[in-house]
Amino acid sequence: MTRRADDFHAELARGVADIHRNPVEVALFDHDASTISGRAGVVVYPTSADEVIHVVRTCHRHDRPFVARGAGTGLAGGATPLDGAVVICLTKMNRVLSVDPINRFAWVEPGVLNLDLSRQMTALGHDLHFAPDPSSQQSCTVGGNVANNSGGPHCLADGVTSAHVLGLEVVLSDGQVVVLGGEEPEPDGFDLRGAFVGSEGMFGIATKVCVRLTQNPPTVRTMLLDFTSVRDGADTVSAIIASGMVPAALEMMDALCIKAVEEYVHAGLPLDAAAVLLVEVTGLVSDVTAQAERVAEIGRRLHARTVRVARDEAERALLWKGRKSAFGAVARIKPNYYLHDTVVPRRHLPDVLDEIYRIVDRHELLVLNVFHAGDGNLHPLLVFDKREPGILERVHAAGEEIVKASVAAGGVLSGEHGIGLEKRDYMSLMFSEIDLAAQAAVRCAFDPSGLANPFKVLPSPASCGDIQHVPEGAWI
Amino acid sequence: MDLTEFAEQVGPSGRVSVRGRSTRTVRRVDGVTIDRVVSAPSGIVEYHPDEMTITCGAGTTLGEVRQITADRGQFVALPGSGTVGGALAVGRSGIDRLGVGPVRDTLLQATFVNHCGQLVNVGGPTVKNVSGFDVARLLVGSFGRLGFIAQVILRTRPIPTASSWFVVDADWTRVTELQSALYRPAALLWNGQRLAIRLDGHPDDIAANAARFGLTALDGPPIDADGTLYRWSVAPTDVPAVIGSAGQQVWAEVGVGIVHHVMPQPDRRATLNHIEVRLVDEFDPQRRLNPDVVFPQ
């Protein structure tokens, strides 16, 4: 350990109590939930904004990069530290600070778990929830949701995280604290709050988040439609939207996924179907009844074999369990998986799905599709056994082709997982150099030092940053 | 005019100001010399009702957008008259913000002209997208200070089956009771004595709620939000205090915090913070884009 490093660690320890330097412990933070590994330096668990400020100021003084981390459930390497960056783990800042149940917002710390926030509202007697509901919602944090502008099945009607964040307290990379947005609807100046949401930890660290809370719907109807062709299922999705409905959720699973899920949770899914569509309509009773009837009618017109309506909350929970445990169910097929996340215009869903099946066949892989059909957000899940020689190369090659096919169909690189390291080098598929320069300019305005989570999102060095080399130890 | 011609008009030099139909109140600085006044291209480029997206020039009028979307049972949640670009650049929401959300959530993708006269794309064409930083959000309410919006992709929504205004006598306690009890009202406007309510949805649900809460039908909204009133932005909890101290009748958007006032709001920020200064330094180092517009305002 050099003298300079010793000074750095000693200074860090003066202002943050929970600090970890043991190489075995630190190595656990070399990656997030993606397959991309980096190298963590020191890991700190601040318990207050003051501790975050101290850590960030110390990093700034010593020119050390830092990475904010929530639960580490990200799938794009956004929280993967590179070059021994300091990992600032925010899971111990997990208090709900205040709740206004009438105007429906709450100030929370970034380490609050997504699902815990909604559960706490119930426990406090408020008929409210936090709308973004990524599949990892039992373990992901609100701060992570802010960083990734996370989505989830119920974002079709209610919007992604950005629509549910009113304000933020942020520690900038030089340790200054700023408040972006807030409880008032139209704060003066630029929408810095909006820019910060989805900035993948590269603009600073949120230490408080003002989240919007959503009323629980008085009536919910959850339906399962099954089809003998994926195209009929996809056409049903488009027809539902075109008929003037925005269901609370519109989720689809293909044949292999149905099989895996059914064997795992026994939800009574039809094993001979090519696709099932999970549709949820919510609201007041007459509206829900009318919408459910129209969904069933559209489905039957487009060749749905059966329309199953969940009779009670238990059956509804079972159907959702099937959808949300799809990723756990794949372990029954192969031990490893690689999950992609692209969006295509809904009208191109059937064609892009066909293309995905062709790509996967060409690379002799297996794919399960389980996705947010309502907003065209595909989640091809490539399953494999990493012990098989050469398979990772095939998985990556197929993944790249899937991303390219989605963008070629007029889609985007990521719907909710973010860019991180995983898709950084694909950004030029969607954006010109001029477009990317505009994004880099925003990053510079928030973090001129470039110390906040460097090397992510932007494929080329930011003009104001010190990003000049391919990071050591990056496995992309 | 196409996008390239618009970009050429903005060009890389000179002080340029952008105008739509000038239907919104925009405070300007006196005595700033402007070399060119430009207007963004207009016209619908693509409309996909089953994608819930519409692509149009920023100079397209909201009337035209309303007409084409209404034919397919949809609307775009941008308020007022004038142009799409004006609604976005000013960023002020309509009185149905409680129901449809803020203006910023309507914009999916924008093509804007930067200070070099180049076309820049931000955001993405789909309703869900986290590819890169959310620069599109910054353009909403930026009054053209970061670039001039040329073309956009907007999110459309279905027009509710029915939509009705009601009124009920209500003190603040009653207002908060109704605020809690009503499921997703589209608008709640309070003037200290009366609460005007817009309910959207199935006609049977609207009728049931009107009966349950003793609401009286109203012909339309109690105020014209496009009128000449001042607009205050306050925390929703401060609404009763603002109403109480107004001295005259003013209407507040309950649950939102916009107050349609007779006086200008005091204590608003007149200068940019350091992040905003750096943003403008990056996006318009010569301060040549809309230099005659007061910002923040």
Q: Per-residue pLDDT tens for B166-221?
A: 999 999 999 999 999 999 999 999 999 999 999 999 999 999 999 999 999 999 99
* Domain of residue A109, CATH code: 3.30.465.10
Angle of helix A285-301 versus helix A230-242 axis, rounded to 10? 140
As a whole-number percent, the residues of chain A with pLDDT over 70 amount to 96
- CB within 8 Å of chain B, chain A residues 199-228: 199, 202, 215, 217-218
Query: Could you identify the residue written with the tokens 């923040």?
Result: B296
Asked if the Cβ–Cβ distance from B127 to A197 is below 8 Å, we say: no
Query: By CA distance, what is A101's nearest residue in B?
Result: B180
A164 inside 8 A of chain B by CB: no
**The pLDDT of residue A31:** 94
CA distance A25 to chain B (A): 32
Instruction: Using CB atoms, pick whichever of A418, A434, A441 lies closest to residue B130.
Output: A418
Cβ–Cβ gap A194/B101 under 8 Å? no
Give contacts of A 310-349 with B, CB under 8 A.
343-347
Please state the φ and ψ torsions of residue A118, each to the nearest 5 degrees: -65, -40
> A residues 142-161 near B, CB within 8 Å?
148-149, 151, 155-156, 159-160
Which fold is adopted by the domain B3-158+270-283? 3.30.465
Residues 208-237 of B with CB under 8 A from A: 208-209, 231, 233-237
Contact A190 B49 (CB under 8 A): no
CATH label of the domain that carries residue A254: 3.30.70.2190
Structural domains of chain A, count? 3
Q: What is the pLDDT of residue A472?
A: 40
Give CA–CA dist A37/A100, Å, rounded. 41
Cα–Cα separations (whole angstroms), residue B55 to B8, B65, B70, B151: 21, 10, 15, 7
Q: Which of A160, A183, A419 sits opposite B235 (nearest CB)?
A: A183
Q: Do B135 and A344 touch (CB under 8 A)?
A: no
Cis peptide before A134 (omega within 30 of 0): no
Show the tokens assigned to A127.
């008929």
A186–B93 C-beta distance less than 8 A: yes
Q: H helices of chain B, where?
A: 3-10, 62-70, 84-90, 97-100, 135-139, 172-181, 203-213, 239-245, 274-283
Average pLDDT, stretch A381-405?
94
Point out the domain boundary residue: A152, A185, A215. A215
Q: Which one has a higher pLDDT value, B224 or A229?
A: A229
Q: According to the model, what pLDDT value does residue A388 have?
A: 94
Contact A192 B283 (CB under 8 A): no
Mean pLDDT of chain B: 96
| Secondary-structure percent of chain B, ordered helix, strand, coil, rounded to 5 | 25, 25, 45
A167 closest CA partner among A121, A211, A102, A200: A211
To test the contact with chain B by mutation, choose from A98, A190, A417 the residue with the greatest count of B C-beta atoms within 10 A, namely A190
Q: What is the pLDDT of residues B218-260, one digit of tens each?
A: 999 999 876 667 999 999 999 999 999 998 999 999 999 999 9
pLDDT tens string A187-227: 999 999 999 999 999 999 999 999 999 999 999 999 999 99
- Kindly state whether residue A125 falls inside one of the protein's structural domains: yes
> Within an 8 Å CB–CB cutoff, is residue B159 touching chain A?
yes
Is A50 inside any structural domain? no
Residues A211 and A224 in one domain: no
Q: Is residue A148 part of a domain?
A: yes
Q: What is the pLDDT of residues B109-146, one digit of tens each?
A: 999 999 999 999 999 999 899 999 999 999 999 999 99
Mutate to test the interface with A, among B97, B108, B122, B130 (most CBs of A within 10 A): B130
Q: Which of A159, A238, A343 sits opposite B126 (nearest CB)?
A: A343
Q: Does A100 touch chain B (CB under 8 A)?
A: yes
| Chain A residues within an 8 Å CB radius of B275 | 172, 178, 192, 445-446
Residue in the block written with tokens 């002799």? A364
Judged by a CB distance cut-off of 8 A, whether residue A433 touches chain B is: no
**Which structure tokens are listed for A247?**
């269901």
> Are A209 and A171 within 8 A, CB to CB?
no
Residues A224 and A211 in one domain: no
A416 lies within 8 A of chain B by CB: yes
Counting residues of chain B whose pLDDT is more than 90, the rounded percentage is: 94
Identify the band that residue A471 occupies on the pLDDT scale cut at 50, 70 and 90. Answer: very low
Check residue A45 and give its pLDDT. Answer: 98
State mean pLDDT over B3-27: 96
Average pLDDT across chain A, whole number: 93
Indicate if A321 and A340 belong to the same structural domain: no
**DSSP run (H or E) holding B105:** none
pLDDT at position B121 = 98
Is A433 within the bounds of a domain? no
Shared domain check, A223 and A163: no
pLDDT of residue A476: 34
* Nearest CA-CA partner of A443 in A427, A430, A456: A456
Q: Report pLDDT digits (tens) over A95-126.
A: 999 999 999 999 999 999 999 999 999 999 99
Residue at A112 is within a domain: yes
Interchain CB contact of B296 with A (< 8 Å): yes
Candidates B143, B151, B141, B146; CA nearest to B111 is B151
Quote the minimal CA–CA distance from A376 to chain B in Å.
8
Model pLDDT for residues B257-279, shown as the tens digit of each residue: 999 999 999 988 889 999 999 99
Predicted local confidence at residue B225, as pLDDT: 72
Q: At residue A468, does pLDDT exceed 70?
A: no
Cβ-based contacts under 8 A for chains A and B: 241
What does the pLDDT average to over B54-79?
98
ipTM field: 0.97
Q: For residues A307 and A360, state if they share a domain.
A: no
Residue A127 sits in the same domain as residue A236: no
**B111 and chain A in contact, CB less than 8 A:** no
- Phi-psi category of A367—alpha, beta or left, where left has phi over 0 and alpha has psi -120 to 50? beta
**CB half-sphere exposure, B286, CA atoms < 13 A:** 12
For residue A415, give the DSSP letter. S
Show residues of chain B in contact with A183, CB under 8 Å: 235-237, 257
| Contact across the interface for A195 and B146, Cβ inside 8 Å | no
Q: Which among B125, B132, B269 has CB closest to A410?
A: B125
Say yes or no to pLDDT of A320 above 70: yes
* Contact with chain A for residue B34, Cβ under 8 A: no
Decide the pairing of beta strands B36-38 and A105-108: unpaired
Asked if the structure places residue A476 within a domain, the reply is: no
Q: Residue A380 belongs to a domain with what CATH number?
A: 3.30.70.2740
Q: Inform me whether the C-beta atom of residue A24 falls under 8 Å from chain B C-beta atoms.
A: no
Contacts of A156 in chain B (CB under 8 A): 127
Of A60 and A154, more confident: A60
User: What pLDDT is attached to residue B163?
Assistant: 98
Residue A1: which pLDDT band, with cuts at 50, 70 and 90? low
Q: Do A188 and B296 touch (CB under 8 A)?
A: yes
Kindly indicate the confidence band of residue A323, based on its pLDDT and cuts at 50, 70 and 90: confident
Report pLDDT digits (tens) over A166-183.
999 999 999 999 999 999
Predicted pLDDT of residue A461:
57
Residue A320: Cβ within 10 Å count: 19
Considering the domain architecture, whether residues A263 and A338 belong to the same structural domain is answered as no
**Model pLDDT, residue B201:** 97
Out of B128, B179, B268, closest to residue A343 by CB: B128
Give SS3 for B243. helix
Range of the domain at A379: 334-408
Are A136 and A171 within one domain?
yes
- Residue extent(s) of CATH 3.30.465.10 domains in chain B: 3-158+270-283
Of A327, A344, A374, which residue constitutes the final position of a domain? Answer: A327
Query: Which residue from A183, A287, A438 is facing B236, i.e. has the nearest CB?
Result: A183
Q: Are residues A120 and A178 in the same domain?
A: yes
Considering only CB atoms, B275 lies closest to which of A192, A198, A432, namely A192
